[in-house]
Amino acid sequence: MTADALAGLPSTVAAVFEATATALPGNDFLQVLPETAAILGVEARTWSYAEAAVEIARLSAMYSAAGYGHGHRAGLLLLNRPEFIFHFIALNQLGISVVPINPDWRAAELEFLIAHSEISVAACIPGREQVLLTAAGAVGRDVALAGPHAAPLRRATATARDAGRVPDADTECALLYTSGTTGQPKGCVLPNEYFLYAGRWYNTVGGLCDVRRGVERMLTPLPLTHMNAMAVSTMCMTLSGGCLVLLDRFHPATWWESVRLSRATIIHYLGVMPAMLLGLPASNADRSHNVRFGFGAGVNPRHHAVFEDRFGFPLLEAWAMTETGSGAVVVANREPRHVGTACFGAALPDVLCRVVTEGGEDAPPGVPGELFVRHAGSDPKFGFFRCYLKDDAATAQAWAGGWFHTGDLVSRQIDGTFRFVDRKKNVIRRSGENISAVEVESVIAQHPDVRAIGVTAVPDPVRGDEVFGCVVLRPGVAANDDWAAQLSNFCRRRLAYYKAPGYVAFCAALPLTPTEKIQRSKLKQLALDLWDRGEFVDVRSMKRRDEE
């Protein structure tokens, strides 16, 4: 660990919360606005640190009395409800690692997560209990349920592996799943250190990201199943004594009403949000808010300056990954920010970066290459994930040569700032969600009418990418709109809605290597050609978040 990076901080997430609750008990900690409350079926209210501490203590006592402790893992299928935060901190107090569960995941995804993570208990929203229990039963796991309307929590059936050991900065805090290129998501093991440093980094990075103690109100529509909301936002506010305002998701039509009602001073955004907000009619109230800055990534360069000029605050573009946490975050928090160039700033002295060509050489200024990162000092992995659960080979490959290989293509300018170019990895990024093409292909390949399938990305002006499926049908199967709709239904019964193809194209064959593997670069070009010519079936309207 870097010697002084966490100096003066308690050693766990729960201990940080306890320290702030003791120092600033009357400060607002968590707010749920009426619109979000109505959608999520919870109470619209604001919790002070003292009030939250009472609920956290109750939950911690409940888990402890049932025999859950240091070394167990607990699933959280709680959406962006306040219970997510309360269970998270209560479990952390006992040394129990939390496994956030994406509410859009379906049977195959849940079965994989439950088997791979080996959760022994799960807190679940009403109405999804049976889905979890069915998935657990399918993989032979006995998972107890804890939730607002669950029966009394069953006792743990196995003793926690680290029972008796006091949780510390090295204790596993969370297991977050992130899509990779090998089909199944990877489980990133995140210690307390990861979360502590996320909060410390945000509170000390300064510049245009200056965070004032006990003053800020941070509004986020991002899901708590992602590191941005769960680690960066939550820990920034908890450490500074600020208030976290949770939305169920981004609603363009009511966004500014939420901003004003919450009195937000900081917002977190995804790149699709500025485009949608710019599409709203101009208003004299466009600058009627308290927002000091937005923190996010992926704003369309064409929209960046226009948004700032209209709404009156900077969008600070940043780069990070679940794996890097704040151990290697880069943010454009100081001028010049080179607005409109996809610039995400320059690395601070505690982050070391290389831009590496395909030949393994350091790329000269302005020339794209893969971004390699590490933390400066004695521990290059400080603030990063610990490993991919049960995948030592993937962990070693990611850290080959002592640098973390990000898979992102960037260029470094003469002034040291970075500009994002593209993703090297075969991951489709739609509305902030990483989608593995291989995972989608593996599901579509199970359809009895499909002879071969290739999935790639095509550009979407609002969502960044959209999923494009190139399908080779078996002889005798009619290639038409009805079949494309049937495929969409097939996918959405097995995968989260956003992973299903938005476009389906019928092909005679796919570009393959001599060993019968898909040639990804040629597949992407094929998809773009078909897309440009309009030779596809548009099934985007069938991709709806509210499906069960």
DSSP 149-178: TPPSPPPPSS--TTTTSPP-TTSEEEEEEE
pLDDT band at residue 383 under the 50/70/90 scheme: very high
DSSP code per residue over 499-542: GS-SEEEE-S---B-TTS-B-HHHHHHHHHHHHHHT-SEE-GGG
pLDDT in tens, 307-316: 999 999 999 9
* Residue 327 domain-assigned (yes or no): yes
Residue 353 CA to residue 347 CA, distance in Å, equals 7
DSSP code per residue over 42-68: S--EEEEHHHHHHHHHHHHHHHHHTT-
What per-residue confidence (pLDDT) applies to 435? 85
Residues 386, 435, single domain; the answer is no
Residues 404, 492, single domain; the answer is no
Residues 234, 303, single domain; the answer is yes
Mean pLDDT value of segment 179-208 = 89
Residues 396, 443, single domain; the answer is no
* Residue 276 domain-assigned (yes or no): yes
* Residue 7 domain-assigned (yes or no): no
**Any bridge partners for residue 405, and if so which?**
372
User: Whose CA is closest to 348, among 202, 205, 199?
Assistant: 205
Task: Classify 273 as helix, strand or coil.
Answer: helix
pLDDT in tens, 74-106: 999 999 999 999 999 999 999 999 999 999 888
pLDDT band at residue 513 under the 50/70/90 scheme: low
Contact 134, 141 (CB under 8 A): no
**Residues in CB range of 119: below 8 A, 6 or more apart:** 73, 74, 75, 99, 113, 141, 143
Residue with tokens 């204790």: 171
Contact 479, 506 (CB under 8 A): yes
Q: Kindly give the pairing relationship between strand 330-331 and strand 417-423.
A: unpaired
What per-residue confidence (pLDDT) applies to 183? 60
* Residue 424 domain-assigned (yes or no): no
Across the chain, mean pLDDT equals: 93
Give per-residue burial for 140-177: e unless 16+ CB within 10 Å, then b: ebebbbbbeeeeebbebeeebebeeeebebebbbbbbb
Contact 324, 371 (CB under 8 A): no
Residues 215, 262, single domain; the answer is yes
**Residues in CB range of 396: below 8 A, 6 or more apart:** none
CA 29 to chain centroid: 22
DSSP state of 74: E
Task: Provide the whole-model pTM.
Answer: 0.86
Domain count along the chain: 2
DSSP state of 400: G
Residues 149, 270, single domain; the answer is yes
pLDDT in tens, 397-426: 999 999 999 999 899 999 999 999 877 767
Residues 439, 392, single domain; the answer is no
* Residue 6 domain-assigned (yes or no): no
Residues 226, 343, single domain; the answer is yes
Angle between helices 13-23 and 49-65 (to 10 degrees): 140
Tell me which H or E stretch contains 396. helix 392-398
Give the CATH number of the domain where residue 470 resides: 3.30.300.30
* Residue 166 domain-assigned (yes or no): yes
**Residues in CB range of 233: below 8 A, 6 or more apart:** 218, 220, 222, 244, 268
Report how far apart, in Å, the C-alpha atoms of 326 and of each of 98, 136, 351, 387 are.
19, 33, 10, 15
Question: 450: domain range?
Answer: 430-542
* Residue 308 domain-assigned (yes or no): yes
Last residue of a domain, one of 356, 375, 410: 410
Give the CATH number of the domain where residue 365 resides: 3.40.50.12780
Residues 439, 374, single domain; the answer is no
pLDDT band at residue 178 under the 50/70/90 scheme: confident
Beta strands in 199-257 (DSSP E): 217-220, 243-246
Residues 113, 46, single domain; the answer is yes
Last residue of a domain, one of 410, 441, 464: 410
What per-residue confidence (pLDDT) applies to 422? 72
What per-residue confidence (pLDDT) applies to 75? 98
pLDDT in tens, 107-144: 889 999 999 999 999 999 999 999 999 999 999 999 99
Give per-residue burial for 527-539: e unless 16+ CB within 10 Å, then b: beebbeeeebbeb
pLDDT in tens, 352-378: 999 999 899 999 999 989 999 999 999
